[in-house]
Structure 1
Amino acid sequence: MPSTAATTALPSPWARLANPAGWSVGTHELVFALKTAAGGLLALYIAFRLGLESPYWVLPTSFIVANPFAAAMRSKSMYRLVGTGVGGVMAVVLVPNLVDSPVLLSLALAVWIGLCLYLALLERSPRSYMFMLGGYTVGIIGFQAIGEPQAVFDIALARVEEIALGIGCTTLIGGIVLPRPYGPVVQARLEEWTKPALDWALHALAGTEPSSAALYALRDRLTGEAVEIGMMIPHLSYETAAWARFAGEVDELRQAVLSMVPILSALGDRAWQLKRLGGMTPELAAGLEDAAGWMRAGQSATRAQAGRLMARVSALEEAEPARDWAGVLRASLLARLRDLIGLVEYERALRRHIFKGEPMLPRHAIHLGALAHPVKASDHGLALFSSLGAAFTLLVLCGFWILSGWPGGAGAALMATIACCFFAALDDPTVGMRGMLHYSALSAVAVALYGFVLLPRVEDFGQLALVLLPYLLLAASLAARPATMSAGMTLGANGCTLMALQNHYAGDFAAFANAALGMVGGIGAAILITRIIRQAGVDWIVRRLLRQTWKDIAAATSRPQDRAQFAGRLLDRLGLLLPRLKVAAPNTGALGVNLLRDVRNGLNALVLAREQGGLPLPVRLLVSKVQERVARHYREAPERPPEPGLRVALDAALAALTQVPHDQVTREVMMALVGLRFAFYPEAAPPLALVEPRA
């Protein structure tokens, strides 16, 4: 599946191909191109020798599953094989029973494809390809079997055989001939990705102003790239055994780093505020400097050093009375510092375990109160809307095919459906579809040259391989580079499908013209229908994601939830939102300016819901008023400044807490109330009850 990141400013496909950098081929690209071409040609040779019904299917399959990295190729091959099998079974079920009613058959195909796309969009991982393929494979098989429904099982079996052959040959050569390991790539990407966390931590410990451009850039990079890295990790399960057994731990490592985001934000806010108020004590300043040195030490820091640093934080917490505003801020900072040390030590322990083979510490030996679970924030409404769009597009094209009787109508309906499925995850699917349209038109020109100029002169398979090799190498070389991958894949997959190679030369220009017009026309129709249906783009999606976040926070004020699950969901949505906020309209982007603050408010509201039962009744009633006003703010007007009544309620609850004996519950509640007040009113004067220390 394409990435869910916003893609509204891409250069045109022709500009990409015209760019000389897009044509440069390095060693890795050349090796990948040779392996892909060899795998496709080997599969085609075997298909010819076996006399398969449609041997040409092996070539596009080779391009579709090919990947420069062996593990990613193996995973995609598995997903394609399973998806093809599921689609074949469903075609056998639907076509014979509904072939006499074209309208019902079209409706059944649309429902099935829509359902599969809906599941694929919710999955949001490389496994989504399995669901997507299970959908449109029904069309690939079903449309071919409509003329002979009694042969649908044989057609489905032949498709599975041909695709399995293409997968097997490509995977075999890709895995044997100079395979590129995937684990070191993920490791290097993780190392690069975690640098912003270290830089942010050093800024936070130094009390850098939270609104600085440098901190915004670090935050955006850390959260935005988390989604991409999350898409890479599942492929590790198909890497060598040494890497596959650590796939779960690598995902935990990613989650540990991502869990630092709200902690770093809160810690930096407290340190900056204390510096501004002159409330930074020498002991606390020295402790923060020691923590910064420990952070800089990286993997060279020992577990004993982490233990001593944690003990120092505990000593400072015990010495901190937390009875005035500065004292409360210091206590809150220390609590966040404890969380940060625990997460960093856990992340380092995971690194030593994964990359150096050291034994892993038990979880209970590390403070992991702030660790979030890996949870996907699913948008069922958006997934349903996108899947209905694909189903509607299929129905429109099927209707045109039925009414017109055009021989290329089936191909148009199929290509429109494939285009809708492949780019449904994009904020603006027409961006990817336009590229697919241009490259498909280019492939049609090349196939016409092959089909009516070059192939008539071919007399045996050796000559055929030599004739095809330049086209296959060109397409595979483009597919090997991220900047031109869509061009290479479209030229390879669509061009080889349109070429429709058989054991004998056919040379039917009318059939070629219908197929080419169906391919190009189907994609063009998909662009037109998608534009009509999905007029709302990135701004609409941003507003949906923000509303879901605000709704979750409002619910957290009154319903105790698992903190790790709740934090994981909010952080996942944060990673989806921040890249989109950069390209959204200014008025939409302004709605997300306090997004990280909202995440922290949700976590603090969750503490109140969980701990308020342990408070004395008078304090509990005041805390309940805070919860009600926080919930009202996020339900009714989260995009506007909070009402003054919320500040009054927060100050009253904080004043009441200063009058009761302090224990773990009151401390947790006070930290949550301080976090809410500071997030909602960062520039406001301290609460009157906490201006002067109390006896």
Structure 2
Amino acid sequence: MQWPRLLPALRATAAALAALVVAHLLRLENPYWAAMTALIVVQPTRTLLFEKSYYRLVGTAIGSAAAWLLLLQTTSPLALTAALSIWIAACVGIGNLLHGLRSYAALMAACTCAVIAMSGYQNPGHLGGMAFGRVACIIVGILVTTCVTALFTPSHSMDELGDRLNKVAADAVRWLAQLAEGAGKQAGTDLEQEILCEAAEIEALLDAGGISSSFRSHRRNARNVLGALLSMLAAGKLDTESPERLQLLQRAASGWSEALTRRLQELAAGLERDPGPEWCGKAKALAAETTLHLPLLGRALYHLTGTLEVALASHADDGANEATLHLIRHRDWQQAGRAAFRGGIVIAVVGLVWSLTGWSKGPLMLMALSIMISIFSSKEHPARFVGLIFIGAATGSTLAVFCRLVLLHGVGDFAVTAAVIAPFILLGAYAMQHRRTVIPATDATLFFIFVIQPGVSVTVAANDLAIGAVAMVLGVASAWMGYTFLVPVNPALRMRSLLAAMAKDIAQMSAQANRGSRVRIRGKLQHRVIRLVALARNFDITPAAAVSGAIGVLALTATIERLREKLEYEELSPESARQLRETLDRIACMAQTPALESRLLQGWADDLSAVLKPLPPTEDRVGATDEGAAMGAVMVPAS
């Protein structure tokens, strides 16, 4: 065994056993819940440990209260199933609209209600004790885990976040240097992919940072940096990549592009070495000079410098005023609705079968099903997760039945039971330290504890115990079928929803005259671009095409904003104003066609920047119907 992985496994095992002992000594109902909580809330940093514990407790309290109220109102299996279906559908829908551990709390409320309701239905005389015991065991598990592991768990480091922001900003400046050098599209493709993928990883980490006000401020400032970064990528696309624009630039300012390339490279190197006040001063000076020749790029570089300066400073609250750059997180209403429907209908179908057949193990199946159909519904590919969990559930349940019937046959002493199960928990905790086995190992350990139920006097016959374990595994299988066949969800479907939302954003930006509304739409679209790239990278869905399309979409939104600014702030002739409005209307119409969505990942947006050049309007261009000609017709100079 490897000590770096064995030590965390030993700490997790010690926390689980200690939580079990404390809950048993306190005579809580179902003390094994405390041991399961101790394993679940273990996290790589103290900040995550505290935050996940907090939201797990909140979700558990809400779900327990809902189950208690539900069982007070009904004892009919059919009515109970209907009520559970509605509750789980509502919680799953809300959980899929929220982000981070707030989503986890909503999903915990869904499955906790089902677990308590089914346990209470089987033991109506212990309903109050079960609801209280569930919450109390969660508290015990959290406190014990904190005491056992917190001293050995590093705190969340703001320095790491700052270093990653430095690195991605430096890469973006280096990317601009390549474009200004005229190296062509291919030279910057790999760097584009690295920049957007790193931005996606940073954004994902921000949701798991902490609930303190100081970290919320850092999180807001970091999102401002990411928003400014995406704006600069768009500006670089518009201002430097068009061959016609480079020719005009070289004629107007001979040799300046070479100087710009050199200074950008120096700026990127300085940012990686020491992003202090001296670097910020040089960057702002370069941004001001760049604005004279490339206004969009100069302004974007200035905003990136300002947001990064604030994010890296100790006075993090100063970044709150950069609302125009802030990312607004994507909410997928379509997939949230599908998740809610899936959760409700699967619970209803299995609950209906239980109600009609009266199968005594139906509640156990519903318990496992409720956890699988809720907790993992927000995953990008839940069927894959649940498939791995099925392996773990089957393994853990089999080991639990063997342990209970062979190793613990006739054993009623709590200390002996804890001693016998300890090696199994340690083995599972060790397997949880490996990336490839973490998912099945986690659920194998949890199912092992749940089936064996240490701390509870077990008088179940051998066949009943085995059938109960099978029922729980069948609950996992039912969730997998729901994710795969009934209301399927996978990365491709999520990507299509993203593309549809992005196309809608483009259409709305084109039609929206209010600047504040356009800023909000841009913030949403930028976050969707990051999510798109993350999906493509995580599941190998043509990442290069996704990055290429993402950069082009950002460039298109910058063009739309520039068109709107011309209409709002520049004195234009009636004919020019009419042409600009027709251009925006044409973009809005084209953004809503399926052809646009299908080409966002096929390099369509790459061609947009190449036609951003001043061309006199002609009758042929205004009346173009071919998609490529129409795209050329709608583009106007960005400066």
- Report the counterpart of residue 658 of structure 1 in structure 2: none
- Separation in 2 of the partners of 1:99 and 1:503? 25
Which AA in structure 2 matches 1:277?
A: Q
- Separation in 1 of the partners of 2:405 and 2:70? 37
- TM-superposed CA distance for 1:131, in Å, is 0.4
Post-superposition CA distance 1:256-287 (Å, at most 9, x none)? 13531342243155334358637422134313
- Separation in 2 of the partners of 1:525 and 1:598? 40
- Report the counterpart of residue 399 of structure 1 in structure 2: 352
- Report the counterpart of residue 175 of structure 1 in structure 2: 150
Taking the TM superposition and a 5 Å limit, the aligned residue runs for 1:43-442 are: 43-100=19-76, 102-149=77-124, 151-176=126-151, 178-183=152-157, 186=161, 190=165, 196-210=171-185, 212=186, 215-237=188-210, 245-268=214-237, 270-274=239-243, 277=247, 279-280=249-250, 281-298=254-271, 300=274, 303=277, 306-307=280-281, 310-311=284-285, 313-314=287-288, 317-318=291-292, 331=293, 333-351=294-312, 353=313, 357=314, 359=315, 372-442=325-395
Task: Sort the Cα spacing of 1:185 and 1:592 in 2 relative to 1 into closer, same or farther, 3 A.
Answer: closer
CA contact (8 A) 1:99 1:149 kept: no
SS at match of 2:175: helix
- Report the counterpart of residue 625 of structure 1 in structure 2: 582
Which AA in structure 2 matches 1:344?
A: T
Is 1:594 aligned to 2:563, yes or no? no
- Separation in 2 of the partners of 1:56 and 1:392? 30
- TM-superposed CA distance for 1:396, in Å, is 1.1
Task: Sort the Cα spacing of 1:301 and 1:494 in 2 relative to 1 into closer, same or farther, 3 A.
Answer: closer
- TM-superposed CA distance for 1:373, in Å, is 0.9
- TM-superposed CA distance for 1:89, in Å, is 1.1
- TM-superposed CA distance for 1:119, in Å, is 1.1
CA RMSD of aligned residues (A): 3.6
- TM-superposed CA distance for 1:391, in Å, is 1.2
- Separation in 1 of the partners of 2:285 and 2:172? 23
More deviation in 305-314 or 448-457? 305-314
CA contact (8 A) 2:380 2:490 kept: yes
Which AA in structure 1 matches 2:590?
A: H
- Separation in 2 of the partners of 1:44 and 1:315? 66
- Separation in 2 of the partners of 1:72 and 1:42? 21
- TM-superposed CA distance for 1:130, in Å, is 0.3
CA contact (8 A) 1:539 1:584 kept: no
- TM-superposed CA distance for 1:350, in Å, is 2.2
- Separation in 1 of the partners of 2:62 and 2:79? 21
- Report the counterpart of residue 621 of structure 2 in structure 1: none
More deviation in 196-205 or 337-346? 196-205
SS at match of 2:183: coil
- TM-superposed CA distance for 1:87, in Å, is 0.5
- Separation in 1 of the partners of 2:412 and 2:466? 24
Task: Give the one of 544, 547, 550 matched to 2:503.
Answer: 550
CA contact (8 A) 2:19 2:34 kept: yes
- Report the counterpart of residue 592 of structure 2 in structure 1: 635
- Separation in 2 of the partners of 1:617 and 1:70? 62
Q: Which runs of 5+ in 2 are unaligned?
A: 619-627
- Separation in 2 of the partners of 1:218 and 1:534? 38
Task: Sort the Cα spacing of 1:306 and 1:234 in 2 relative to 1 into closer, same or farther, 3 A.
Answer: closer
Post-superposition CA distance 1:516-553 (Å, at most 9, x none)? 11111111122223322234643333222112111111
- Report the counterpart of residue 623 of structure 2 in structure 1: none
CA contact (8 A) 1:443 1:491 kept: yes
Task: Sort the Cα spacing of 1:502 and 1:349 in 2 relative to 1 into closer, same or farther, 3 A.
Answer: closer
- Separation in 2 of the partners of 1:289 and 1:498? 66
- Separation in 1 of the partners of 2:567 and 2:307? 30
- Separation in 1 of the partners of 2:468 and 2:69? 27
- TM-superposed CA distance for 1:592, in Å, is 8.2
- TM-superposed CA distance for 1:309, in Å, is 5.2
- TM-superposed CA distance for 1:117, in Å, is 0.9
Task: Sort the Cα spacing of 1:495 and 1:227 in 2 relative to 1 into closer, same or farther, 3 A.
Answer: farther
Task: Sort the Cα spacing of 1:459 and 1:262 in 2 relative to 1 into closer, same or farther, 3 A.
Answer: same
Task: Give the one of 31, 40, 44 matched to 2:7.
Answer: 31
CA contact (8 A) 2:200 2:530 kept: yes
Which AA in structure 1 matches 2:96?
A: L
Which AA in structure 1 matches 2:197?
A: G
SS at match of 1:477: helix
CA contact (8 A) 1:94 1:105 kept: yes
CA contact (8 A) 1:65 1:77 kept: yes
- Separation in 1 of the partners of 2:142 and 2:195? 36
Which AA in structure 1 matches 2:560?
A: A
- TM-superposed CA distance for 1:160, in Å, is 1.3
More deviation in 597-606 or 566-575? 597-606
- Report the counterpart of residue 513 of structure 1 in structure 2: 466
TM-score, normalised with respect to structure 2 = 0.85
- TM-superposed CA distance for 1:170, in Å, is 1.4
- Separation in 1 of the partners of 2:31 and 2:318? 54
Is 1:454 aligned to 2:407, yes or no? yes
- TM-superposed CA distance for 1:409, in Å, is 1.0
Q: Which runs of 5+ in 1 are unaligned?
A: 1-23, 319-330, 655-676, 691-695
Would you say how many aligned residue pairs link Structure 1 and Structure 2? 609
- Report the counterpart of residue 532 of structure 2 in structure 1: 577
Post-superposition CA distance 1:473-518 (Å, at most 9, x none)? 1211222343322123102212111111135454631331122111
Taking the TM superposition and a 5 Å limit, the aligned residue runs for 1:443-522 are: 443-456=396-409, 460-504=413-457, 506=459, 508-522=461-475
Task: Sort the Cα spacing of 1:678 and 1:41 in 2 relative to 1 into closer, same or farther, 3 A.
Answer: farther
Task: Sort the Cα spacing of 1:493 and 1:381 in 2 relative to 1 into closer, same or farther, 3 A.
Answer: same
- Report the counterpart of residue 624 of structure 2 in structure 1: none
Which AA in structure 1 matches 2:477?
A: G
TM-score, normalised with respect to structure 1 = 0.79
- Separation in 2 of the partners of 1:399 and 1:462? 41
CA contact (8 A) 2:392 2:440 kept: yes
- Separation in 2 of the partners of 1:262 and 1:125? 25
Post-superposition CA distance 1:657-688 (Å, at most 9, x none)? xxxxxxxxxxxxxxxxxxxx999559x9x99x
- Separation in 1 of the partners of 2:345 and 2:73? 22
- Report the counterpart of residue 11 of structure 1 in structure 2: none
- Report the counterpart of residue 625 of structure 2 in structure 1: none
- Separation in 1 of the partners of 2:416 and 2:548? 62
Task: Sort the Cα spacing of 1:71 and 1:165 in 2 relative to 1 into closer, same or farther, 3 A.
Answer: same
Post-superposition CA distance 1:137-168 (Å, at most 9, x none)? 11011111224546533321122112222222
